[in-house]
């Protein structure tokens, strides 16, 4: 009996019956001849680092499966909605297995609404399918905050041009951080895969020399998906012209020495006293970073 390969690979059972003084039968099938092993499944969800990812674009989830011939791959969204693959490519590995790449195309907005993506594999000889699931986007907390600041340690000990983006109560998973100067991207986009249970992140960048202009203000943005992003308030013009203020501090009594208070505000101000004699006294100063990112030094 000649059997179609397609029927054989589906696991269909064939029986041979012989009748003499008695009837004898024997059956066989692809499942009996070649028991299938557990399929190997690798599921890759859409990545935020994909340069084509835009709010109105489409994204692709990919499932790579090594399984028995004629296995069926299906997609399940949010646990109950089954979708057909947009493209599928098969490549036979051995006489009984093949490698299948199944791609599912979704709109970016549809992807943002998913809680889970499942790739399900049903082999012809298995009663139950095997599957692999990845989580969708985690919801952000209402009190999520993103701030941009200059770390004081760099202002005091470095060149003072480091910007720090700090975010709290952010969702776990893949996030990107970008720094901008007047809406112009600074450096490269930084990608972070935040572990489950960690809800804060910090990213830093040194402002390139060409962006250290006095009219520039800076922001940082944390992004989870094309339309889910959070931006800090802008800094002040931290490279702007410095300002100085000299105040006379009222003394408690006539016999006490007169006090002067000098305040300098700017990128990294240094205060020097210049009395009529030429060289002033060495006076310790107090430094702080203001909310606008400019340094304030007081002596």
Q: Which domain holds residue 195?
A: 145-231
Residue range 125-142: average pLDDT? 86
Q: Which helix (H) or strand (E) holds 135?
A: strand 130-135
Q: Identify whether residues 222 and 163 lie together within a single domain.
A: yes
**One domain, residues 62 and 112:** yes
Of 207, 209, 199, the closest CA to residue 151 belongs to 207
**Based on the domain organization, do 174 and 201 belong to the same domain?**
yes
CATH number of the domain enclosing 90: 2.60.40.10
- Whether residue 195 lies inside any domain: the answer is yes
Q: 164: part of which helix (H) or strand (E)?
A: strand 162-168
Asked whether residue 52 is domain-assigned, the answer is: yes
Q: Is residue 153 part of a domain?
A: yes
pLDDT at site 233: 94
How buried is residue 220: exposed, middle or buried, by Cβ count under 10 Å (0-12/13-18/19+)?
Answer: buried
C-alpha dist (Å) from residue 169 to 37, 67, 198, 230, 234: 44, 41, 9, 12, 20
Domain end (from 176, 198, 231)? 231
The answer on pLDDT for 279 being more than 80 is: no
Which pLDDT value is given to residue 204?
95
Residue 238 lies in a domain: no
Same domain for 213 and 261?
Answer: no
Tokens 């600041």 -> residue: 149
Beta bridge partners of 63: 43, 102
140, part of any domain: no
**CA–CA separation, 151 vs 288, rounded Å?**
10
- 91 located within any domain: yes
Query: Is 267 a member of any domain?
Result: yes
In a domain, 189, yes or no: yes
Total domains, the chain = 4
220 — pLDDT class (breaks 50, 70, 90): very high
Q: Is there a contact between 104 and 83 (Cβ–Cβ < 8 Å)? A: yes
As a whole-number percent, the residues of the chain with pLDDT over 70 amount to 93
pLDDT band at residue 278, thresholds of 50, 70 and 90? low
Among 135, 156, 173, the domain boundary falls at 135
Give the end of a domain, one of 135, 168, 195. 135
Q: Which of 57-71, 99-113, 124-138, 252-266 has the lowest mean pLDDT?
A: 252-266
Residues 69 and 110 in one domain: yes
Q: Are residues 129 and 193 in the same domain?
A: no
pLDDT band (50, 70, 90) for residue 136: confident
Assessment of whether the complete model's pTM goes beyond 0.85? no
How is residue 150 annotated by DSSP? -
């Amino acid at each position: 009996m000649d059997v179609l390969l397609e029927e054989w690979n589906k696991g269909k059972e064939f029986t041979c019956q012989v009748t003499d003084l008695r009837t004898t039968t024997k059956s066989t099938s692809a499942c009996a001849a070649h028991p299938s092993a557990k399929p190997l499944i690798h599921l890759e969800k859409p990545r935020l680092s994909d340069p084509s990812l835009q709010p109105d674009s489409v994204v692709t989830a990919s499932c790579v499966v090594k399984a028995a011939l004629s296995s069926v791959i299906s997609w399940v969204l949010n646990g109950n909605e089954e979708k057909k693959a947009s493209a599928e490519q098969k490549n036979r590995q051995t006489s009984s297995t093949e490698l299948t790449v199944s791609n599912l195309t979704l709109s970016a907005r549809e992807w943002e609404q998913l809680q889970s993506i499942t790739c399900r594999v049903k082999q012809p000889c298995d009663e139950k399918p095997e599957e692999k699931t990845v989580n969708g986007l985690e919801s952000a907390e209402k009190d999520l905050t993103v701030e941009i600041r200059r770390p004081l340690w760099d202002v005091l000990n470095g060149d003072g041009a480091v910007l720090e983006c700090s975010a709290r109560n952010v969702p776990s998973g893949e996030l990107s951080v970008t720094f901008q100067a007047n809406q112009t991207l600074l450096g490269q986009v930084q990608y972070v895969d935040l572990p489950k249970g960690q809800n804060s992140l910090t990213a830093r960048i040194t402002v390139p020399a060409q962006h250290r202009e006095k009219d520039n203000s800076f922001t940082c943005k944390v992004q989870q998906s094309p339309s889910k992003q959070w931006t800090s308030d802008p800094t002040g013009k931290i490279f702007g012209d410095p300002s100085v203020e000299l105040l006379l501090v009222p003394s408690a009594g006539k016999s006490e020495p007169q006090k002067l208070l000098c305040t300098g505000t700017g990128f990294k101000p240094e205060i020097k006293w210049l009395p009529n004699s030429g060289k002033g006294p060495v006076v310790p100063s107090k430094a702080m970073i203001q909310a606008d990112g400019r340094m304030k030094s007081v002596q």
